Structure 1
Protein backbone atom coordinates (compact mmCIF):
# COMPACT_ATOMS: atom_id res chain seq x y z
CA UNK A 1 0.00 0.00 0.00
CA UNK A 2 1.27 3.44 -0.95
CA UNK A 3 0.31 6.59 0.92
CA UNK A 4 1.32 9.97 -0.43
CA UNK A 5 1.73 13.12 1.65
CA UNK A 6 2.37 16.68 0.54
CA UNK A 7 3.47 19.67 2.60
CA UNK A 8 0.70 22.30 2.72
CA UNK A 9 1.21 25.36 4.93
CA UNK A 10 3.78 23.52 7.05
CA UNK A 11 1.55 20.47 7.58
CA UNK A 12 1.44 17.00 6.04
CA UNK A 13 -1.68 16.18 4.06
CA UNK A 14 -2.53 13.14 1.99
CA UNK A 15 -2.50 13.81 -1.73
CA UNK A 16 -3.54 12.05 -4.95
CA UNK A 17 -1.50 9.04 -6.06
CA UNK A 18 -1.18 10.52 -9.54
CA UNK A 19 1.27 13.01 -8.00
CA UNK A 20 3.80 10.35 -7.00
CA UNK A 21 6.85 12.36 -8.04
CA UNK A 22 5.48 15.55 -6.49
CA UNK A 23 4.74 14.02 -3.09
CA UNK A 24 7.06 15.03 -0.28
CA UNK A 25 6.55 11.69 1.50
CA UNK A 26 5.76 8.37 -0.14
CA UNK A 27 4.95 5.82 2.56
CA UNK A 28 5.12 2.22 1.26
CA UNK A 29 3.59 -0.22 3.76
CA UNK A 30 4.05 -3.90 2.80
CA UNK A 31 4.16 -2.87 -0.88
CA UNK A 32 3.10 -5.29 -3.59
CA UNK A 33 5.40 -6.30 -6.46
CA UNK A 34 3.69 -3.76 -8.71
CA UNK A 35 4.22 -0.98 -6.15
CA UNK A 36 7.87 -1.94 -5.70
CA UNK A 37 8.34 -1.80 -9.48
CA UNK A 38 6.66 1.61 -9.52
CA UNK A 39 9.04 2.91 -6.84
CA UNK A 40 11.96 1.47 -8.77
CA UNK A 41 10.92 3.18 -12.00
CA UNK A 42 9.96 6.51 -10.42
CA UNK A 43 12.72 6.99 -7.86
CA UNK A 44 15.27 4.41 -9.10
CA UNK A 45 15.28 2.55 -5.80
CA UNK A 46 17.36 -0.62 -5.88
CA UNK A 47 15.12 -3.67 -5.52
CA UNK A 48 17.56 -5.28 -3.07
CA UNK A 49 17.47 -2.22 -0.80
CA UNK A 50 13.67 -2.30 -0.79
CA UNK A 51 13.69 -6.03 -0.02
CA UNK A 52 16.12 -5.43 2.87
CA UNK A 53 13.72 -2.90 4.40
CA UNK A 54 10.98 -5.55 4.37
CA UNK A 55 13.15 -8.09 6.19
CA UNK A 56 12.01 -8.22 9.87
CA UNK A 57 15.58 -8.97 10.98
CA UNK A 58 17.29 -6.17 9.04
CA UNK A 59 19.72 -4.19 11.16
CA UNK A 60 19.94 -0.40 11.37
CA UNK A 61 22.41 1.06 8.90
CA UNK A 62 23.00 3.79 6.34
CA UNK A 63 23.63 3.24 2.63
CA UNK A 64 24.70 5.78 0.02
CA UNK A 65 23.63 5.45 -3.61
CA UNK A 66 24.01 7.69 -6.64
CA UNK A 67 20.25 8.35 -6.65
CA UNK A 68 19.39 8.35 -2.95
CA UNK A 69 20.54 7.91 0.64
CA UNK A 70 19.06 5.07 2.69
CA UNK A 71 18.71 5.09 6.47
CA UNK A 72 17.36 1.91 8.07
CA UNK A 73 16.19 2.18 11.69
CA UNK A 74 14.45 -0.19 14.09
CA UNK A 75 10.98 1.11 14.96
CA UNK A 76 8.67 -0.03 17.78
CA UNK A 77 5.55 -1.60 16.31
CA UNK A 78 2.17 -0.18 17.28
CA UNK A 79 0.93 -3.17 19.35
CA UNK A 80 4.01 -2.92 21.58
CA UNK A 81 3.77 0.78 22.39
CA UNK A 82 1.39 0.42 25.33
CA UNK A 83 1.33 -2.72 27.44
CA UNK A 84 2.35 -5.41 24.96
CA UNK A 85 5.70 -7.10 24.69
CA UNK A 86 8.21 -4.88 22.90
CA UNK A 87 8.78 -5.77 19.27
CA UNK A 88 10.62 -3.79 16.62
CA UNK A 89 10.55 -3.76 12.85
CA UNK A 90 12.88 -2.05 10.37
CA UNK A 91 11.81 1.06 8.53
CA UNK A 92 13.81 2.17 5.51
CA UNK A 93 13.98 5.92 4.87
CA UNK A 94 15.06 6.69 1.31
CA UNK A 95 16.11 10.31 0.79
CA UNK A 96 16.19 11.93 -2.64
CA UNK A 97 16.69 15.65 -3.32
CA UNK A 98 12.89 16.16 -3.55
CA UNK A 99 11.27 13.21 -1.79
CA UNK A 100 11.29 10.98 1.28
CA UNK A 101 10.25 7.38 0.63
CA UNK A 102 9.70 5.07 3.60
CA UNK A 103 9.45 1.31 3.14
CA UNK A 104 8.23 -0.88 5.99
CA UNK A 105 6.47 -4.14 6.60
CA UNK A 106 4.09 -2.87 9.29
CA UNK A 107 2.51 0.56 9.80
CA UNK A 108 4.26 1.54 13.02
CA UNK A 109 2.78 5.05 12.79
CA UNK A 110 0.81 7.19 10.35
CA UNK A 111 1.36 10.66 8.91
CA UNK A 112 -0.97 12.21 11.48
CA UNK A 113 1.06 10.65 14.31
CA UNK A 114 4.28 12.47 13.42
CA UNK A 115 3.29 15.69 15.15
CA UNK A 116 0.59 14.39 17.49
CA UNK A 117 2.94 14.48 20.49
CA UNK A 118 3.75 18.19 20.29
CA UNK A 119 1.74 21.03 21.81
CA UNK A 120 3.45 23.38 19.37
CA UNK A 121 3.79 21.42 16.18
CA UNK A 122 6.98 22.05 14.17
CA UNK A 123 6.43 22.96 10.54
CA UNK A 124 7.27 20.46 7.80
CA UNK A 125 8.21 22.23 4.60
CA UNK A 126 10.98 20.17 3.03
CA UNK A 127 12.74 16.83 3.09
CA UNK A 128 15.00 17.89 5.96
CA UNK A 129 12.03 18.70 8.22
CA UNK A 130 10.29 15.44 7.35
CA UNK A 131 13.47 13.38 7.76
CA UNK A 132 14.00 14.73 11.29
CA UNK A 133 10.32 14.27 12.12
CA UNK A 134 10.50 10.59 11.20
CA UNK A 135 13.59 10.00 13.34
CA UNK A 136 12.00 11.94 16.21
CA UNK A 137 8.81 9.83 16.03
CA UNK A 138 10.74 6.54 16.04
CA UNK A 139 12.78 7.71 19.01
CA UNK A 140 9.78 9.00 21.00
CA UNK A 141 7.91 5.70 20.61
CA UNK A 142 10.86 3.81 22.09
CA UNK A 143 11.22 6.46 24.79
CA UNK A 144 7.60 5.89 25.90
CA UNK A 145 8.31 2.18 26.22
CA UNK A 146 11.56 2.62 28.15
CA UNK A 147 10.58 5.31 30.68
CA UNK A 148 8.00 3.26 32.66
CA UNK A 149 10.45 0.37 33.01
CA UNK A 150 12.16 2.06 35.95
CA UNK A 151 8.96 1.74 37.99
CA UNK A 152 8.48 -1.89 36.92
CA UNK A 153 12.05 -2.71 37.94
CA UNK A 154 11.51 -1.03 41.33
CA UNK A 155 8.43 -3.21 41.95
CA UNK A 156 10.41 -6.34 41.07
CA UNK A 157 13.25 -5.34 43.39
CA UNK A 158 10.80 -4.94 46.29
CA UNK A 159 9.26 -8.32 45.46
CA UNK A 160 12.70 -9.97 45.57
CA UNK A 161 13.50 -8.39 48.94
CA UNK A 162 10.13 -9.45 50.37
CA UNK A 163 10.59 -12.99 49.00
CA UNK A 164 7.40 -12.86 46.90
CA UNK A 165 8.86 -15.31 44.42
CA UNK A 166 5.58 -16.23 42.77
CA UNK A 167 5.08 -12.65 41.58
CA UNK A 168 8.48 -12.23 39.95
CA UNK A 169 9.44 -15.02 37.57
CA UNK A 170 7.49 -14.45 34.34
CA UNK A 171 7.35 -10.66 34.69
CA UNK A 172 11.10 -10.41 35.30
CA UNK A 173 12.06 -12.62 32.38
CA UNK A 174 9.68 -10.81 30.00
CA UNK A 175 11.00 -7.41 31.06
CA UNK A 176 14.59 -8.59 30.67
CA UNK A 177 13.81 -9.85 27.15
CA UNK A 178 12.27 -6.49 26.22
CA UNK A 179 15.31 -4.65 27.53
CA UNK A 180 17.68 -6.83 25.51
CA UNK A 181 15.64 -6.17 22.35
CA UNK A 182 15.35 -2.42 22.91
CA UNK A 183 18.98 -2.07 23.96
CA UNK A 184 20.17 -3.82 20.80
CA UNK A 185 17.83 -1.77 18.60
CA UNK A 186 18.91 1.51 20.19
CA UNK A 187 22.58 0.70 19.73
CA UNK A 188 22.12 -0.01 16.02
CA UNK A 189 19.90 3.09 15.63
CA UNK A 190 22.53 5.25 17.32
CA UNK A 191 25.29 3.95 15.07
CA UNK A 192 23.18 4.62 11.97
CA UNK A 193 22.08 8.11 13.04
CA UNK A 194 25.65 9.08 13.92
CA UNK A 195 26.64 8.49 10.28
CA UNK A 196 23.93 10.69 8.73
CA UNK A 197 26.56 13.34 8.14
CA UNK A 198 27.85 11.19 5.26
CA UNK A 199 24.56 11.55 3.36
CA UNK A 200 24.79 13.03 -0.15
CA UNK A 201 21.19 13.85 -0.99
CA UNK A 202 20.08 15.75 2.06
CA UNK A 203 21.44 18.89 3.66
CA UNK A 204 20.45 20.54 6.90
CA UNK A 205 20.17 24.13 8.02
CA UNK A 206 21.93 25.16 11.20
CA UNK A 207 18.72 24.70 13.21
CA UNK A 208 18.06 21.30 11.66
CA UNK A 209 21.63 20.23 12.41
CA UNK A 210 21.07 21.18 16.07
CA UNK A 211 17.86 19.13 16.14
CA UNK A 212 19.67 16.16 14.62
CA UNK A 213 22.39 16.43 17.27
CA UNK A 214 19.72 16.53 20.00
CA UNK A 215 18.06 13.44 18.52
CA UNK A 216 21.38 11.63 18.48
CA UNK A 217 21.92 12.55 22.13
CA UNK A 218 18.41 11.33 22.99
CA UNK A 219 19.09 7.96 21.37
CA UNK A 220 22.40 7.71 23.22
CA UNK A 221 20.65 8.53 26.50
CA UNK A 222 17.99 5.88 25.91
CA UNK A 223 20.71 3.37 25.08
CA UNK A 224 22.52 4.17 28.33
CA UNK A 225 19.23 3.85 30.27
CA UNK A 226 18.42 0.44 28.80
CA UNK A 227 21.99 -0.70 29.45
CA UNK A 228 21.67 0.23 33.13
CA UNK A 229 18.23 -1.36 33.34
CA UNK A 230 19.60 -4.55 31.75
CA UNK A 231 22.32 -4.76 34.40
CA UNK A 232 19.78 -4.20 37.19
CA UNK A 233 17.48 -6.84 35.72
CA UNK A 234 20.38 -9.29 35.50
CA UNK A 235 21.02 -8.72 39.22
CA UNK A 236 17.31 -9.20 39.99
CA UNK A 237 17.20 -12.44 38.02
CA UNK A 238 20.33 -13.72 39.73
CA UNK A 239 18.86 -12.84 43.13
CA UNK A 240 15.60 -14.52 42.13
CA UNK A 241 17.36 -17.70 41.05
CA UNK A 242 19.48 -17.67 44.20
CA UNK A 243 16.37 -17.26 46.37
CA UNK A 244 14.66 -20.14 44.60
CA UNK A 245 17.75 -22.33 45.14
CA UNK A 246 17.86 -21.36 48.83
CA UNK A 247 14.16 -22.15 49.24
CA UNK A 248 14.65 -25.52 47.58
CA UNK A 249 17.64 -26.23 49.83
CA UNK A 250 15.60 -25.33 52.92
CA UNK A 251 12.76 -27.60 51.86
CA UNK A 252 15.13 -30.50 51.20
CA UNK A 253 16.78 -29.93 54.59
CA UNK A 254 13.42 -30.06 56.36
CA UNK A 255 12.32 -33.18 54.46
CA UNK A 256 15.61 -34.91 55.28
CA UNK A 257 15.26 -34.05 58.97
CA UNK A 258 11.69 -35.36 59.07
CA UNK A 259 12.82 -38.56 57.34
CA UNK A 260 15.53 -39.09 59.96
CA UNK A 261 13.07 -38.52 62.80
CA UNK A 262 10.56 -40.98 61.34
CA UNK A 263 13.30 -43.54 60.71
CA UNK A 264 13.69 -44.28 64.48
CA UNK A 265 10.07 -45.40 65.18
CA UNK A 266 10.10 -47.29 61.90
CA UNK A 267 13.26 -49.16 63.01
CA UNK A 268 11.80 -50.02 66.43
CA UNK A 269 8.54 -51.22 64.89
CA UNK A 270 10.49 -53.36 62.43
CA UNK A 271 12.56 -54.97 65.21
CA UNK A 272 9.49 -55.87 67.24
CA UNK A 273 7.90 -57.40 64.19
CA UNK A 274 10.51 -60.18 64.11
CA UNK A 275 9.56 -63.72 65.25
CA UNK A 276 12.38 -64.03 67.84
CA UNK A 277 12.67 -63.55 71.58
CA UNK A 278 12.62 -59.84 72.37
CA UNK A 279 12.86 -57.76 75.54
CA UNK A 280 9.54 -57.09 77.29
CA UNK A 281 7.71 -59.58 75.08
CA UNK A 282 5.96 -61.14 78.13
CA UNK A 283 5.28 -57.81 79.87
CA UNK A 284 1.57 -56.80 79.65
CA UNK A 285 2.62 -53.14 79.39
CA UNK A 286 5.24 -53.80 76.67
CA UNK A 287 3.30 -52.00 73.98
CA UNK A 288 2.95 -48.79 76.00
CA UNK A 289 6.54 -48.93 77.22
CA UNK A 290 7.83 -49.23 73.63
CA UNK A 291 5.50 -46.40 72.53
CA UNK A 292 6.80 -44.21 75.38
CA UNK A 293 10.46 -44.95 74.55
CA UNK A 294 9.81 -44.23 70.88
CA UNK A 295 8.01 -40.95 71.69
CA UNK A 296 10.87 -39.81 73.93
CA UNK A 297 13.45 -40.68 71.28
CA UNK A 298 11.48 -38.84 68.59
CA UNK A 299 11.03 -35.82 70.85
CA UNK A 300 14.76 -35.81 71.60
CA UNK A 301 15.63 -35.94 67.89
CA UNK A 302 13.11 -33.21 67.09
CA UNK A 303 14.54 -30.98 69.82
CA UNK A 304 18.11 -31.63 68.64
CA UNK A 305 17.22 -30.74 65.05
CA UNK A 306 15.37 -27.66 66.28
CA UNK A 307 18.39 -26.49 68.26
CA UNK A 308 20.60 -27.03 65.21
CA UNK A 309 18.03 -25.06 63.15
CA UNK A 310 17.47 -27.97 60.84
CA UNK A 311 13.70 -27.66 61.28
Structure 2
Protein backbone atom coordinates (compact mmCIF):
# COMPACT_ATOMS: atom_id res chain seq x y z
CA UNK A 1 0.00 0.00 0.00
CA UNK A 2 1.08 3.60 -0.41
CA UNK A 3 -0.08 6.93 1.00
CA UNK A 4 0.63 10.34 -0.52
CA UNK A 5 1.26 13.52 1.47
CA UNK A 6 1.91 17.09 0.51
CA UNK A 7 2.66 20.25 2.44
CA UNK A 8 -0.08 22.86 2.40
CA UNK A 9 0.48 26.61 2.12
CA UNK A 10 0.34 26.74 5.92
CA UNK A 11 3.21 24.25 6.18
CA UNK A 12 0.98 21.41 7.39
CA UNK A 13 1.52 17.94 5.96
CA UNK A 14 -1.79 16.73 4.51
CA UNK A 15 -2.84 13.47 2.92
CA UNK A 16 -3.84 13.73 -0.75
CA UNK A 17 -5.61 11.21 -3.00
CA UNK A 18 -3.48 11.45 -6.14
CA UNK A 19 0.12 12.08 -7.08
CA UNK A 20 1.10 15.73 -7.30
CA UNK A 21 4.40 17.44 -7.85
CA UNK A 22 6.48 18.03 -4.72
CA UNK A 23 4.57 15.38 -2.81
CA UNK A 24 5.77 12.54 -0.59
CA UNK A 25 4.75 8.96 -1.37
CA UNK A 26 5.15 6.53 1.54
CA UNK A 27 5.07 2.91 0.37
CA UNK A 28 4.74 0.00 2.82
CA UNK A 29 4.82 -3.70 1.85
CA UNK A 30 3.58 -2.98 -1.69
CA UNK A 31 2.41 -5.34 -4.37
CA UNK A 32 4.14 -5.57 -7.76
CA UNK A 33 1.27 -3.69 -9.38
CA UNK A 34 1.64 -0.81 -6.94
CA UNK A 35 5.37 -0.62 -7.59
CA UNK A 36 4.83 -0.50 -11.33
CA UNK A 37 2.21 2.23 -10.93
CA UNK A 38 4.51 4.41 -8.83
CA UNK A 39 7.46 3.73 -11.14
CA UNK A 40 5.55 4.81 -14.24
CA UNK A 41 3.78 7.85 -12.77
CA UNK A 42 6.82 9.21 -10.94
CA UNK A 43 9.45 8.19 -13.52
CA UNK A 44 11.46 6.19 -11.00
CA UNK A 45 13.50 3.06 -11.90
CA UNK A 46 11.62 -0.02 -10.77
CA UNK A 47 14.75 -1.46 -9.15
CA UNK A 48 14.94 1.62 -6.90
CA UNK A 49 11.55 0.61 -5.52
CA UNK A 50 12.28 -3.12 -5.32
CA UNK A 51 15.75 -3.10 -3.74
CA UNK A 52 14.71 -1.69 -0.32
CA UNK A 53 12.12 -4.48 0.00
CA UNK A 54 14.94 -7.03 0.27
CA UNK A 55 15.58 -7.49 3.99
CA UNK A 56 19.23 -8.32 3.28
CA UNK A 57 19.84 -5.18 1.22
CA UNK A 58 22.81 -3.14 2.44
CA UNK A 59 22.80 0.60 3.09
CA UNK A 60 24.07 2.62 0.14
CA UNK A 61 23.55 5.55 -2.25
CA UNK A 62 22.81 5.03 -5.93
CA UNK A 63 22.18 7.56 -8.70
CA UNK A 64 20.38 7.00 -12.00
CA UNK A 65 21.38 9.51 -14.67
CA UNK A 66 18.55 8.65 -17.06
CA UNK A 67 15.76 9.56 -14.61
CA UNK A 68 17.84 11.90 -12.41
CA UNK A 69 16.79 9.92 -9.33
CA UNK A 70 18.86 9.20 -6.23
CA UNK A 71 18.28 6.17 -4.03
CA UNK A 72 19.37 6.31 -0.37
CA UNK A 73 19.03 3.07 1.60
CA UNK A 74 19.32 3.15 5.40
CA UNK A 75 18.61 0.50 8.01
CA UNK A 76 16.16 1.24 10.82
CA UNK A 77 15.35 -0.77 13.98
CA UNK A 78 12.12 -2.68 14.38
CA UNK A 79 10.70 -5.24 16.80
CA UNK A 80 11.69 -8.84 16.09
CA UNK A 81 8.37 -10.63 15.70
CA UNK A 82 10.13 -13.97 16.14
CA UNK A 83 11.50 -12.95 19.51
CA UNK A 84 10.34 -14.21 22.91
CA UNK A 85 8.67 -12.21 25.66
CA UNK A 86 11.64 -9.83 25.70
CA UNK A 87 11.50 -6.90 23.28
CA UNK A 88 14.37 -7.70 20.93
CA UNK A 89 15.10 -5.90 17.68
CA UNK A 90 16.34 -6.44 14.17
CA UNK A 91 17.13 -3.89 11.47
CA UNK A 92 15.56 -3.70 8.03
CA UNK A 93 16.21 -1.34 5.10
CA UNK A 94 14.17 1.67 4.06
CA UNK A 95 14.61 3.33 0.70
CA UNK A 96 14.46 7.11 0.26
CA UNK A 97 14.14 8.02 -3.41
CA UNK A 98 14.72 11.61 -4.48
CA UNK A 99 13.03 12.11 -7.84
CA UNK A 100 12.64 15.19 -9.97
CA UNK A 101 9.12 15.95 -8.70
CA UNK A 102 8.60 13.45 -5.88
CA UNK A 103 10.18 12.00 -2.79
CA UNK A 104 9.35 8.35 -2.17
CA UNK A 105 9.98 6.17 0.88
CA UNK A 106 9.60 2.42 0.55
CA UNK A 107 9.94 -0.33 3.13
CA UNK A 108 8.86 -3.90 3.69
CA UNK A 109 7.37 -3.11 7.12
CA UNK A 110 5.45 -0.30 8.76
CA UNK A 111 7.65 2.68 9.59
CA UNK A 112 6.07 4.03 12.76
CA UNK A 113 8.84 6.58 13.30
CA UNK A 114 7.68 8.47 10.20
CA UNK A 115 4.47 9.39 12.04
CA UNK A 116 6.51 11.90 14.02
CA UNK A 117 7.46 13.63 10.76
CA UNK A 118 3.84 13.74 9.65
CA UNK A 119 2.93 15.74 12.76
CA UNK A 120 5.69 18.27 12.14
CA UNK A 121 5.79 21.12 9.67
CA UNK A 122 7.71 19.48 6.84
CA UNK A 123 8.04 21.07 3.44
CA UNK A 124 7.80 18.27 0.88
CA UNK A 125 9.03 20.57 -1.88
CA UNK A 126 12.43 20.65 -0.14
CA UNK A 127 13.08 17.01 -0.93
CA UNK A 128 16.74 16.84 0.05
CA UNK A 129 16.10 18.41 3.45
CA UNK A 130 13.12 16.11 3.98
CA UNK A 131 15.37 13.11 3.25
CA UNK A 132 17.83 14.31 5.90
CA UNK A 133 14.97 14.68 8.38
CA UNK A 134 14.05 11.03 7.75
CA UNK A 135 17.65 9.88 8.26
CA UNK A 136 17.88 11.93 11.47
CA UNK A 137 14.66 10.32 12.68
CA UNK A 138 16.18 6.87 11.98
CA UNK A 139 19.28 7.73 14.02
CA UNK A 140 17.06 8.95 16.86
CA UNK A 141 15.20 5.64 16.78
CA UNK A 142 18.42 3.77 17.48
CA UNK A 143 19.10 5.91 20.55
CA UNK A 144 15.59 5.30 21.90
CA UNK A 145 15.75 1.54 21.29
CA UNK A 146 19.18 1.36 22.91
CA UNK A 147 17.77 2.98 26.05
CA UNK A 148 14.99 0.37 26.15
CA UNK A 149 17.47 -2.47 25.69
CA UNK A 150 19.64 -1.11 28.49
CA UNK A 151 16.65 -0.89 30.86
CA UNK A 152 15.84 -4.53 30.11
CA UNK A 153 19.48 -5.47 30.66
CA UNK A 154 19.56 -3.73 34.07
CA UNK A 155 16.35 -5.51 35.11
CA UNK A 156 17.72 -8.91 34.07
CA UNK A 157 21.00 -8.21 35.87
CA UNK A 158 19.18 -7.40 39.12
CA UNK A 159 17.26 -10.68 38.84
CA UNK A 160 20.47 -12.60 38.15
CA UNK A 161 21.83 -11.60 41.54
CA UNK A 162 18.96 -13.41 43.23
CA UNK A 163 18.71 -16.48 41.03
CA UNK A 164 20.13 -17.68 37.76
CA UNK A 165 17.78 -19.33 35.27
CA UNK A 166 17.98 -20.33 31.63
CA UNK A 167 15.31 -17.77 30.73
CA UNK A 168 17.46 -14.90 31.97
CA UNK A 169 20.40 -16.15 29.95
CA UNK A 170 18.21 -16.44 26.86
CA UNK A 171 17.02 -12.86 27.42
CA UNK A 172 20.62 -11.66 27.58
CA UNK A 173 21.26 -13.49 24.32
CA UNK A 174 18.32 -11.66 22.71
CA UNK A 175 19.73 -8.31 23.85
CA UNK A 176 23.16 -9.23 22.55
CA UNK A 177 21.66 -10.21 19.19
CA UNK A 178 19.86 -6.85 18.98
CA UNK A 179 23.10 -4.99 19.72
CA UNK A 180 24.87 -6.89 16.93
CA UNK A 181 22.15 -5.86 14.48
CA UNK A 182 22.35 -2.25 15.68
CA UNK A 183 26.12 -1.97 15.45
CA UNK A 184 26.26 -3.47 11.96
CA UNK A 185 23.49 -1.22 10.63
CA UNK A 186 24.74 1.95 12.34
CA UNK A 187 28.18 1.52 10.80
CA UNK A 188 26.63 0.94 7.37
CA UNK A 189 24.44 4.03 7.82
CA UNK A 190 27.55 5.99 8.84
CA UNK A 191 29.13 5.23 5.47
CA UNK A 192 26.02 6.53 3.70
CA UNK A 193 26.00 9.72 5.80
CA UNK A 194 29.65 10.34 4.98
CA UNK A 195 28.96 9.90 1.25
CA UNK A 196 26.14 12.44 1.44
CA UNK A 197 28.72 15.12 2.24
CA UNK A 198 30.56 14.36 -1.02
CA UNK A 199 27.89 13.27 -3.49
CA UNK A 200 26.84 15.63 -6.26
CA UNK A 201 23.45 14.04 -6.85
CA UNK A 202 22.07 15.43 -3.57
CA UNK A 203 22.49 19.20 -3.49
CA UNK A 204 22.82 20.55 0.03
CA UNK A 205 22.52 24.14 1.21
CA UNK A 206 24.21 25.47 4.34
CA UNK A 207 21.21 24.63 6.54
CA UNK A 208 21.13 21.16 5.02
CA UNK A 209 24.81 20.63 5.80
CA UNK A 210 24.21 21.63 9.41
CA UNK A 211 21.33 19.15 9.60
CA UNK A 212 23.51 16.45 8.02
CA UNK A 213 26.18 17.17 10.64
CA UNK A 214 23.53 16.63 13.33
CA UNK A 215 22.68 13.34 11.66
CA UNK A 216 26.30 12.25 11.74
CA UNK A 217 26.67 13.20 15.41
CA UNK A 218 23.49 11.31 16.31
CA UNK A 219 24.60 8.25 14.33
CA UNK A 220 28.08 8.28 15.90
CA UNK A 221 26.47 8.53 19.33
CA UNK A 222 24.43 5.45 18.48
CA UNK A 223 27.59 3.56 17.44
CA UNK A 224 29.45 4.52 20.64
CA UNK A 225 26.47 3.65 22.85
CA UNK A 226 25.99 0.29 21.14
CA UNK A 227 29.67 -0.56 21.55
CA UNK A 228 29.52 0.45 25.22
CA UNK A 229 26.43 -1.67 25.91
CA UNK A 230 28.01 -4.58 24.04
CA UNK A 231 31.13 -4.43 26.21
CA UNK A 232 29.02 -4.23 29.36
CA UNK A 233 26.91 -7.20 28.27
CA UNK A 234 30.00 -9.24 27.38
CA UNK A 235 31.46 -8.43 30.79
CA UNK A 236 28.25 -9.52 32.54
CA UNK A 237 27.94 -12.78 30.60
CA UNK A 238 31.65 -13.52 31.15
CA UNK A 239 31.36 -12.86 34.89
CA UNK A 240 28.29 -15.04 35.28
CA UNK A 241 29.92 -17.79 33.22
CA UNK A 242 32.79 -17.74 35.69
CA UNK A 243 30.34 -17.82 38.59
CA UNK A 244 28.52 -20.79 37.11
CA UNK A 245 31.80 -22.64 36.60
CA UNK A 246 32.86 -21.80 40.16
CA UNK A 247 29.58 -23.06 41.60
CA UNK A 248 29.90 -26.24 39.55
CA UNK A 249 33.43 -26.77 40.84
CA UNK A 250 32.26 -26.26 44.43
CA UNK A 251 29.46 -28.76 43.90
CA UNK A 252 31.82 -31.33 42.43
CA UNK A 253 34.31 -30.78 45.26
CA UNK A 254 31.59 -31.27 47.88
CA UNK A 255 30.40 -34.48 46.22
CA UNK A 256 33.98 -35.72 46.02
CA UNK A 257 34.56 -35.06 49.72
CA UNK A 258 31.37 -36.91 50.62
CA UNK A 259 32.50 -39.84 48.47
CA UNK A 260 35.93 -39.93 50.12
CA UNK A 261 34.58 -39.79 53.68
CA UNK A 262 31.95 -42.44 52.96
CA UNK A 263 34.43 -44.72 51.19
CA UNK A 264 36.92 -44.93 54.09
CA UNK A 265 34.50 -46.48 56.64
CA UNK A 266 33.27 -48.82 53.92
CA UNK A 267 36.83 -50.06 53.33
CA UNK A 268 37.35 -50.70 57.07
CA UNK A 269 34.02 -52.48 57.47
CA UNK A 270 34.67 -54.56 54.34
CA UNK A 271 38.09 -55.63 55.68
CA UNK A 272 36.67 -56.81 58.98
CA UNK A 273 33.74 -58.45 57.21
CA UNK A 274 35.92 -61.00 55.40
CA UNK A 275 35.54 -64.71 56.26
CA UNK A 276 39.19 -65.13 57.36
CA UNK A 277 41.08 -65.00 60.64
CA UNK A 278 41.12 -61.35 61.83
CA UNK A 279 43.16 -59.57 64.53
CA UNK A 280 39.97 -58.95 66.53
CA UNK A 281 38.05 -61.86 68.00
CA UNK A 282 34.68 -62.27 66.40
CA UNK A 283 33.12 -63.05 69.78
CA UNK A 284 34.50 -59.98 71.54
CA UNK A 285 31.49 -57.79 72.49
CA UNK A 286 33.59 -54.63 71.99
CA UNK A 287 34.95 -55.54 68.56
CA UNK A 288 32.41 -53.40 66.70
CA UNK A 289 33.45 -50.38 68.80
CA UNK A 290 37.09 -50.99 67.91
CA UNK A 291 36.17 -51.15 64.21
CA UNK A 292 34.27 -47.86 64.47
CA UNK A 293 37.26 -46.26 66.20
CA UNK A 294 39.58 -47.47 63.42
CA UNK A 295 37.22 -46.08 60.75
CA UNK A 296 36.94 -42.79 62.67
CA UNK A 297 40.75 -42.51 62.85
CA UNK A 298 41.08 -43.03 59.10
CA UNK A 299 38.41 -40.41 58.37
CA UNK A 300 40.08 -37.87 60.64
CA UNK A 301 43.53 -38.50 59.16
CA UNK A 302 42.24 -38.00 55.63
CA UNK A 303 40.21 -34.97 56.74
CA UNK A 304 43.31 -33.42 58.35
CA UNK A 305 45.35 -34.02 55.21
CA UNK A 306 42.68 -32.38 53.01
CA UNK A 307 42.33 -29.44 55.41
CA UNK A 308 46.09 -28.80 55.36
CA UNK A 309 45.93 -28.71 51.57
CA UNK A 310 43.07 -26.14 51.85
CA UNK A 311 40.76 -28.40 49.88
CA UNK A 312 37.95 -27.53 52.26
1:49-198 correspondence to structure 2 within 5 Å: 49-66=48-65, 67=67, 68-77=69-78, 84-109=87-112, 111-114=114-117, 121-126=120-125, 127-150=127-150, 165-166=164-165, 169-198=169-198
Structure 1, unaligned runs of 5 or more: none
Displacement of 1:158:
6.9
Check whether the contact 2:13–2:118 (CA below 8 A) recurs between aligned residues: no
> Structure 1, residues 159-187: CA drift from partner, whole Å, max 9, x if none?
78x68544852333222221111111110
Displacement of 1:79:
6.5
Check whether the contact 1:72–1:90 (CA below 8 A) recurs between aligned residues: yes
* TM-score, scaled to structure 1: 0.86
Q: What does residue 254 of structure 2 align with?
A: 254
Q: What does residue 6 of structure 1 align with?
A: 6
Q: What is the alpha-carbon distance in structure 2 between the residues aligned to residue 296 and residue 251 of structure 1?
A: 26
Q: What is the alpha-carbon distance in structure 1 between the residues aligned to residue 163 and residue 304 of structure 2?
A: 30
Check whether the contact 1:4–1:14 (CA below 8 A) recurs between aligned residues: yes
Check whether the contact 1:62–1:71 (CA below 8 A) recurs between aligned residues: yes
Q: What is the alpha-carbon distance in structure 1 between the residues aligned to residue 227 and residue 187 of structure 2?
A: 10
Q: What is the alpha-carbon distance in structure 2 between the residues aligned to residue 159 and residue 297 of structure 1?
A: 45
> Structure 1, residues 68-88: CA drift from partner, whole Å, max 9, x if none?
1001111112568x9610111
Displacement of 1:143:
1.0
RMSD: 2.7
> Structure 1, residues 98-118: CA drift from partner, whole Å, max 9, x if none?
2111111001226533255xx
Q: What is the alpha-carbon distance in structure 2 between the residues aligned to residue 249 and residue 229 of structure 1?
A: 30
Structure 2, unaligned runs of 5 or more: none
Q: What is the alpha-carbon distance in structure 1 between the residues aligned to residue 305 and residue 179 of structure 2?
A: 49
Q: What does residue 279 of structure 2 align with?
A: 279
Displacement of 1:264:
0.6
